[in-house]
Structure 1
Amino acid sequence: MSDPASTRAVAIARQGEVMRDFMARAVLFQEAVARSGGLNGSDLQAVGLLLSEGPATPGELASRLRLTAGGAITTMIDRLERAGYVTRTRDDADRRRVIVTAIPETVMARVGPVYEGVTARWNEYLDTLTDEQLDFANEFLARAAAFNSDEAEALHRSS
């Protein structure tokens, strides 16, 4: 009979390997998606954050991306605007402020089709899971995302 503690240690070590592989492949997939839409990975992440968290000033977007506000974010927004992924408008409440907004139709037209294949495969797999397994998977991935976000913020603060 195997030792439960050693079996658990092996399973935990394996989970670490699986998570590292998942994260690396997720980054590579996002880079491929970005290239398919004429973007780089950071540009795609910026558009994704604008879609999920809403419009932002350049400074707010830089903060979401953990970039220094200034030239880098301005250059990124210029690229995204030229490519038709975002618009810049003046804030009605404070005309000095610029608001950057993603254009969902452009995003869906250019990179949406790329996600359809992986979405179909995921949905097919998810249909095989029980409600309890889905709840666990959702909790697991939400915690992983939160931990990654917390650690990225800590790294950003320490640099």
Structure 2
Amino acid sequence: MPVSSTTPVSRRRFVAVTAVATGVAATGGCALPLVDDEPDPLVPLAAAAARDAREFAAADASHGDDVARLHRMADARRTHAERLSAEIGPTDAGETPSDGAAAGPPAICPPIGEVRTRLRDDARRAGEVAVAARGERSALAAAVSAACTTAVEVVLA
């Protein structure tokens, strides 16, 4: 049968034990490095911009009167990819996210309807990142969102 102690604890001893326990808890939290396991939200934006730049630049006569517009949007999306990649910085592999994007099969520009849908999705994602981010990252994501929305609502209207 367990024995319980009925020895009273003095106020001084209680304060000392509480202070030690608080100190151990506080220093234990400070000793652990913070690990950021969440992926950088700018990486998918940079990848989408690089993809759009490649594919929109591949617009040909099958896109009719929209070829010149798609080429201008390709230039804008290339700028987005470069700026986003510069903000992200080098990855673990030592490359920027858009470096490896040029490899692979030849780019084919999608139909205008798909371009509009893709740009709307990119604008929505960039807007969400802008709201969640801070400082220059927020401003950059907001600029990408605004540019994609303008492309859909003005350039391709």
Is the pair's TM-score, using the shorter chain for normalization, greater than 0.5?
A: no
The answer to which structure has the higher strand fraction is 1
Query: TM-score, structure 1 length as denominator?
Result: 0.29
Query: RCO higher in 1 or 2 (8 Å CA, sep ≥ 6)?
Result: 2
Larger Rg: 2
Query: TM-score, structure 2 length as denominator?
Result: 0.29
